[in-house]
Chains A and B, each alone.
Chain A
């Protein structure tokens, strides 16, 4: 436990060194996809190229299925490297320039700003395939006129309702709180806050007051002009403060508490995404759009998950071939849907998945959704945003805090 002085002082430096120098072997398990008989037979011919793909645990089996088909078809070798999803973004940025990175990685669309600023991602031409995707999915992966990834799933938060406790869908937030109170459960509704605030989950309620984060240009792309200040913003801040005072929104409700409470039937409602569903097996659920708290419809953020190709990959042909011709298929996208419950980005697969009422509900709830901004400045915005909401929930002066947040974010954007 006690360490020598220089060792401790150098700890940060050391960890930087390790990040910079280490290959992916230290914290990951490498699972080469099973070699196909075809690849074994033609062992004398030059290998058809090697592809390294970073995936996280949930997606690994689905990608592996596509990889096996790809290996059979092309005679190439695909190596899947399983990593923690939280580590992928930073590791991709640090490892690609050293040449140690993968050829393909899974990722979220809002990484684009950071990935392009750091020159680690390559444009991907979807060609005719672009039209087969849900428009929001391709838009989300478009940055400065170029598409940078192959989308496979669209996700956003919705209102998950326990139909045994609340048979009808509420139209407004107040109606929902009323229904929740009548149900006599411990919480009228559940919305996660956590120790750093949760502006992502709160966003639909904020937009229902008309306070979007940035103004959007006509084509739907974000400008860097802040829109969360002004009257609409402070109206939301005041509403948030009132809800916290009334005990409806509570910072002690973390993600874990929210999910566990809903699963135990302690509330008829929870605001959350498809990633929660595996905790609610065997419950009778219905998915509705999030009820508006203000005068506008509640528009959640949509996050689009997809695959990026490394800018330093020496197998761009193979990587593009794999993504455009093997991952953009209904089969592969449905396999990914089965693995993670997120609505597929390929329209045909999304329709196939929509035969399930839950998936259809999420798809309908996402109709008002807007893509999460991908500009690199978002990192700073998230930070101030969450903490300010948390302070308001904890009883701070809503207007003052909100206005200070807008000034701080503005300062960060201009830095």
Chain B
């Protein structure tokens, strides 16, 4: 899984061997190759058209239009004669766009909003919800058997059985008594001038029916009849009104007006805030919060230091142990090398997160295998002591990580040409000298980029922390749920509420993860530049 963001360099010139007959247009030539291309492109197009149609169907216009644009681009590239280099580059570019640029862009977009608990959706949804929340059933009012009806001109109405009479009305006409209605078993079976809606149509008009309010009488104070299930009606009185022009919500009971505020809440003049808000742009507020709020900034630096210690130390110890075994087992005098090598790779073959959970169980203070069996019943609180927990994290990381280093260094060692070393021997160099001047540098050229990517990986090694210690033990003095073994990414996960421990704040989470990205990217760029100097040895 290395560096998919770097598309393979395209050959500068087409690799067509000169033996072929003079070139024909790809579009007009039906060689087998063209047919294969046609089939492949048909599949790609079918897939793309499907995604685009699905996107339009779900009103996800961004996805749909992006898909259309990609399809046009891909078709042009593969059916035009002028775009030979692009034919090699386009798949990589498309994947780069979909998997990297889009997700980074989306994270950036979320970081600039207040998306999270209380700001979950659109303003319209919030208004709808607040209106529904504040439409109250009139206390002590009866429930009425109800039928949904339609007048000749197609307007929907509601008919209720009120004692011995049937009353019918629509959104404009308040309920009035209907003569000659037939009622059987408390259900209206026939009604002059109105058509009873059959069940199928009931469900087809679900939205209109649940939104339908029929005034109970001429007096608006008496509320209106509505139904939620199409068979029973209740009398409701709205206590909130939405003024569309002024964009305000008015509490009709006490006359308080709520204005939409910049932070995505309705707020009254005296500062009362309605709990349901909507998503708004907040600019760089999330970035500022991460530093300005001292509840975050204090533990932040402790966590930052540990993140560096953890990621650098894990690279170094796994590399050293892996290197040691690689060197030892590279010596032809060792017997059973193949068996030992296979055994050493075992931890790598084992799913890492299973390993973390297993270790967590083995390190349990009272019931764990390590305390119970290996240490004869000692009660060492491996995961509960700040220093021990850090050691444990590094130890488990070593167990999980060294086989990888062992593999890559073994490979690199074997690729060092034997004649160079032989030449050094002839020149009279000792083992140490050969190692320092030849094997070491040649090895580093091969593995240095991998060490850097390993660092970047461990910088965000969410799994080991979350599965092994959960970030614990907690800081005694911090007022946020962060602990001694938390690294930046798990800290983001906790304080933005993604683990359910606080109210969710996707905006803050995105802002913090962008900051982590900047840190990792900076360090990696610098390190890659440094490693270039290694290559100059050659």
Contact = CB atoms under 8 A, between A and B. Distances in A.
B517 A9 contact: yes
B121 A4 contact: no
Contact of A252 (B136, B365, B457, B472): B365
A257 B366 CA distance: 11
Contact of B106 (A11, A17, A379): A17
Interface in B102-137: 102-104, 106-107, 110, 117-118, 120-122, 125-126, 128-130, 132-133, 135-137
Contacts of B278: 119
28 contacts: A6-B104, A6-B517, A8-B459, A9-B513, A14-B99, A17-B103, A46-B200, A99-B59, A116-B275, A118-B276, A119-B120, A119-B128, A124-B228, A125-B234, A128-B143, A145-B136, A195-B472, A252-B364, A314-B206, A315-B206, A316-B207, A324-B228, A379-B501, A379-B503, A380-B503, A383-B481, A383-B501, A394-B384
A9 B518 CA distance: 9
A325 B229 contact: yes
B524 interface: yes
Contacts of B117: 93, 114, 117-118, 376
A5 B502 contact: no
Interface string A371-398: 0000011011011100100010010100
B366 A12 contact: no
Interface string B501-516: 1111010011001101
Contacts of A94: 120
B229 A14 contact: no
A291 to B, nearest CB: 25
A123 B136 CA distance: 10
A397 to B, nearest CB: 10
Interface stretch (B2-10, B42-50, B82-90): B2-10
A396 B135 CA distance: 50
A49 B206 contact: yes
Given A20-B106, A49-B203, A387-B474, 13 more contacts: A2-B453, A5-B453, A9-B460, A10-B107, A12-B489, A75-B200, A118-B117, A127-B234, A252-B367, A320-B229, A325-B229, A376-B117, A380-B501
Interface of B: 1-5, 58-60, 63, 99-100, 102-104, 106-107, 110, 117-118, 120-122, 125-126, 128-130, 132-133, 135-137, 143, 199-204, 206-207, 209-210, 227-232, 234, 275-278, 295, 348, 352, 364-367, 381, 383-384, 404, 450, 453-454, 456-457, 459-460, 462, 470, 472, 474, 476, 479, 481, 489, 492, 497, 500-504, 506, 509-510, 513-514, 516-517, 520-521, 524
A10 B489 CA distance: 11
Contacts of B122: 97
A317 B504 CA distance: 31
A321 B229 contact: yes
Contacts of B102: 17
Nearest to A73: B199
Contact of B143 (A74, A90, A127): A127
A8 B456 contact: yes
Given A14-B103, A118-B118, A379-B497, A45 B200 contact: yes
A78 to B, nearest CB: 12
- Of all A-B residue pairs in the complex, the 3 with the closest CB atoms, nearest first, are A13-B107, A97-B121, A49-B203
- Measured as residues with beta carbon below 8 angstroms from the partner, the interface class of chain A is 35 or more
Contacts of A11: 460, 462
Nearest to B203: A49
Interface in A231-273: 250-252, 257
A21 interface: yes
Interface in A91-117: 93-94, 96-97, 99-100, 114, 116-117
B100 A5 contact: no
Interface string A303-336: 0000000011011111011001100000000000
Contact of A376 (B118, B135, B524): B118
A320 to B, nearest CB: 4
Contacts of B210: 316-317
Interface in A6-31: 6-14, 16-17, 20-21
Interface string A178-196: 0000000000000000011
Contact of A119 (B125, B232, B367, B510): B125
Nearest to B1: A3
Given A5-B456, A252-B367, A411 B479 contact: yes
A79 interface: no
A99 B58 contact: yes
A70 to B, nearest CB: 12
A2 B203 contact: no
A1 B228 contact: no
Given A317-B209, A325-B229, A12 B510 contact: yes
B94 to A, nearest CB: 16
Interface string A182-220: 000000000000011000000000000000000000000
Contacts of A316: 206-207, 210, 228
A144 B136 CA distance: 11
Contacts of B460: 8-9, 11
Contacts of B454: 2
Nearest to B403: A1
A48 interface: yes
A80 B121 CA distance: 25
A180 B476 CA distance: 34
A314 B278 CA distance: 21
Contacts of B128: 119, 311
A351 interface: no
A120 interface: yes
A133 to B, nearest CB: 16
A303 to B, nearest CB: 15
Contacts of A403: none
A84 interface: no
Contacts of B506: 16
A317 B202 contact: yes
A316 B1 CA distance: 47
B120 A93 contact: yes
B125 A321 contact: no
Contacts of A317: 202-203, 206, 209-210, 227-230
B125 A311 contact: yes
Contact of A5 (B275, B295, B501, B520): B520
A294 to B, nearest CB: 27
Contact of B4 (A7, A75, A318, A321): A7
B367 to A, nearest CB: 6
A16 B509 contact: yes
B23 to A, nearest CB: 38
Contact of A2 (B1, B100, B130, B502): B1
B199 A74 contact: yes
A76 interface: yes
Given A97-B122, A391-B476, A383 B502 contact: yes
A119 B274 CA distance: 12
Contacts of A296: none
A177 interface: no
A257 B348 CA distance: 29
B104 A10 contact: yes
A146 interface: yes
Contact of A125 (B4, B228, B510): B228
A119 B126 contact: yes
A376 B364 CA distance: 33
A134 interface: no
A97 B4 CA distance: 33
Contacts of B103: 10, 13-14, 17
Contacts of B133: 116, 123, 144, 146
A358 interface: no
